[in-house]
Amino acid sequence: MRWGPDNGRNKKEGIIELYERQTAIRSVHASAVPRRGSRIGGDHRDSHLRLICTAALRFSLDPSPSVKEVDVILHDTPFEDRLYKEEKAKGRRDMAEMRAFTRSEIKKSDDKDKVLFILHDKVYNVRSFLNEHPGGEEILLEHKGMDASEDFDDVGHSKDAMELMKTYQVGVISDSERMNKLPKKGWVSKYSKESEKNVQGSSLPFYLFMGGIALVAVLFFYVY
Ligand code: HEM
């Protein structure tokens, strides 16, 4: 069954369910990253959360959605906007708002359905990502309840990884406990440095070849 805005389902129930089934929801969303240029209003964080909502609703109706179907829903932005406004008007929690946690809350959290840690004043629940993490699940579990910023920086993560991280963010650290430390340099740029290196590496033979031609041309000019 394909879920869409016109099939007569009660969409509001789906939205409420979002908060109760965050883990499942986020796993659906993981492969359905918003696309550049899609018509989603609001700031990035805002729209990101709304996309998660829609994917969640789909998930609750059918336990095996295909990513393609979720994609269709993601692009149905006017409907999403309407839903979002309805929820807001009812005084429900703003879906774009991130919950504020204290550091000790994260440390003490013994909820088996959550694997929470802190990265640069943001709180992540990677429970549904454990099996998918390219660096392995162990390292994520080892950092449960901790501030993993330093280790995370030391490893270095690509741009894609950082885009993916947004999917698992469930909150922020409360104002008074924030470190306000920017991610280490290189954390963001590692990926681009690597691609720069690749580009430079691949163009070197070309420049040598062009230099050779120029040299031959100069010699030719002087000899004849
Ligand atoms: C939401 C949080 C996280 C996400 C989405 C994430 C995602 C990823 C991704 C996509 C990769 C593949 C390489 C890349 O594209 O950069 C990766 C590798 C890795 N990650 Fe994470 N990661 C997260 C948190 C962490 C944390 C907290 C640690 C702890 C230090 C960690 C340690 C590693 C390691 C060791 C690798 C393997 C690096 C390698 O083989 O070169 N990750 N992660």
The average confidence (pLDDT) of the chain is 61
The pLDDT score that the predictor gives to residue 23 is 30
pLDDT tens by residue, 2-18: 333 333 333 332 332 33
More confident residue, 100 or 30: 100
Which of 131, 155, 158, 162 is the best mutation target for the ligand 1 pocket, counting ligand atoms within 8 Å of the beta carbon and taking the most? 155
Residue owning the nearest CA to atom 40 of ligand 1: 135
% of the chain residues with pLDDT over 90: 20
ipTM: 0.97
The pLDDT score that the predictor gives to residue 185 is 55
pLDDT tens by residue, 90-147: 443 333 457 889 999 999 998 888 999 999 999 999 998 998 888 899 999 999 999 9
The pLDDT score that the predictor gives to residue 206 is 60
What is the 172 CA–ligand 1 centroid distance (Å)? 20
- Residue 162, helix vs strand vs coil: helix
Residue owning the nearest CA to atom 36 of ligand 1: 135
Q: What is the pTM of this model?
A: 0.53
Q: What is the mean pLDDT of residues 178-206?
A: 52
Tell me how far apart the 2 most distant CA atoms of the chain are, in Å.
88
Q: What is the mean pLDDT of residues 62-84?
A: 40
| Euclidean distance between CA atoms 14 and 183, whole angstroms | 36
| Euclidean distance between CA atoms 222 and 151, whole angstroms | 61
Domain chopping of the chain, boundaries: 99-173
Q: What is the mean pLDDT of residues 192-203?
A: 39
The pLDDT score that the predictor gives to residue 165 is 86
The pLDDT score that the predictor gives to residue 212 is 80
What is the 161 CA–ligand 1 centroid distance (Å)? 7
CATH architecture of the region 99-173: Roll (3.10)
pLDDT tens by residue, 151-187: 998 888 887 888 888 888 888 898 899 998 877 654 4
Residue owning the nearest CA to atom 9 of ligand 1: 161
Residue 168: how many other CB atoms lie within 10 Å: 24
Residue owning the nearest CA to atom 5 of ligand 1: 165
The pLDDT score that the predictor gives to residue 98 is 74
pLDDT value at 78 more than 60: no
Q: Are strands 116-119 and 122-125 parallel, antiparallel or unpaired?
A: antiparallel
Q: Cα separations (Å) of 152 from 6, 16, 139, 142, 216?
A: 44, 33, 10, 12, 52
What is the 122 CA–ligand 1 centroid distance (Å)? 16
Residue owning the nearest CA to atom 31 of ligand 1: 152
Give yes or no for residue 136 CB within 6 A of ligand 1: no
> What sign for the dihedral angle of Cα 30, 44, 184, 104?
negative
What is the 150 CA–ligand 1 centroid distance (Å)? 13
